[in-house]
Amino acid sequence: MNSAQPAPNGSRLVTAVQGPGRVLDLTVHSEAMAAPVSVEILPAADSSKPAPTLYLLNGVDGGGSVEGWQGGDNWLTKTDIEEFFADKQVNVVIPIGGRGSYYTDWRAEDPVLGRQQWASFLTRELPPIIDSGFRGTGANAIAGLSMAGAAVFQLALAAPGLYRGIGSYSGCARTSDPRGQAMVDIVVGGKGGNTVNMWGPPDDPAWAANDPYLHADKFRGIAIYVATGSGRAGPLDALDGPGVHSDPVKLTDQVVLGGALDSVASGCTRQLQDRFRELAVPATFDFRDTGTHSWGYWQQDLHNSWSVLGAALDK
């Protein structure tokens, strides 16, 4: 609380409370959203030394619930990140919220989702608070899953030079062609939002401006790791698999709906790979032979991508 400095626009750390384990529960006031935002952080292994920062974004639900992050589906509740990063000199930051938002700046307040200015919060308001409060080096990487698998690229477009590394898991980065727009409409509409309030009608230039596929050349010089499953049931899609808890209904949903989602993500990711190859933009792609849209695979993806993201952060 004493060392964290406000962002230039006045956004500031409001509270910092010790959570369970190594988790610190932060409340940050966002001027852009005119609201408090919950941010969880796993501090670097040695808090007396400087450390880079890895931002981890959650999926379409934003990682929260009426009970806060501990009742939601997010990186902390669904994966082993607390243990995985325990010995690593990196601050891991997990914002909570932003359901159905694509973590972008919306042009208008939405009747259901409210005021969404996530790009401003994540790229301009939060980093100076984290860097000053947790001895950040100014070196950053960002990773996200599903909806956030596209948002991580969009945020890098919004803030050139902010991120040294990008990790995208089961995402669909092409967002302005008819199929991409349909996917975005489904994601946002599924949470009650209206994409007209986000990027305008389908022919609005904002759609193309926020499409990573169309701006693939701008990712040159950033370490990139992109992973997706094929949609076919794999070793983690079983009654004893992560998060299934021997529930046949949950398993069926994971195999059927989760399989369909990663099948679509796989097609989108192939397009992105082709585009990067066409432009000679270096990137690592991991197409798993099996795997659905589920947390067990995203945990594996994060582990596998750390060699790329960690190297980008000099860790």
Count of beta carbons in the 10 Å neighbourhood of residue 236:
21
Is residue 101 within 8 Å of residue 107, measured between CB atoms? no
Beta bridge partners of 284: 225
List Cβ<8 Å contacts ≥24 apart for 26-31. Answer: 28/125, 28/126, 28/129, 30/117, 30/120, 30/121, 30/125, 31/7, 31/125
pLDDT of residue 302: 98
Q: What is the pLDDT, as a whole number, of residue 67?
A: 83
What is the reported pLDDT for 298?
Answer: 98
β-bridge partners, 57:
144
pLDDT for 175 equals 96
Report how far apart, in Å, the C-alpha atoms of 79 and of each of 15, 73, 84, 123, 300 are. Answer: 25, 10, 9, 25, 9
pLDDT at residue 284, rounded to an integer: 98
Tens digits of per-residue pLDDT, 106-159?
Answer: 999 999 999 999 999 999 999 999 999 999 999 999 999 999 999 999 999 999
Q: Identify whether the C-beta of residue 90 lies closer than 8 Å to the C-beta of residue 313.
A: yes
Q: According to the model, what pLDDT value does residue 1 have?
A: 78
35 phi, psi to nearest 5 deg: -160, 160
Statement: the pTM of the whole predicted model exceeds 0.95: yes
Residues of the chain short of pLDDT 50, as ranges, are none
Summarised one tens digit per residue, pLDDT across range 198-214 is 999 999 999 999 999 99
Place of tokens 């994971």: 254
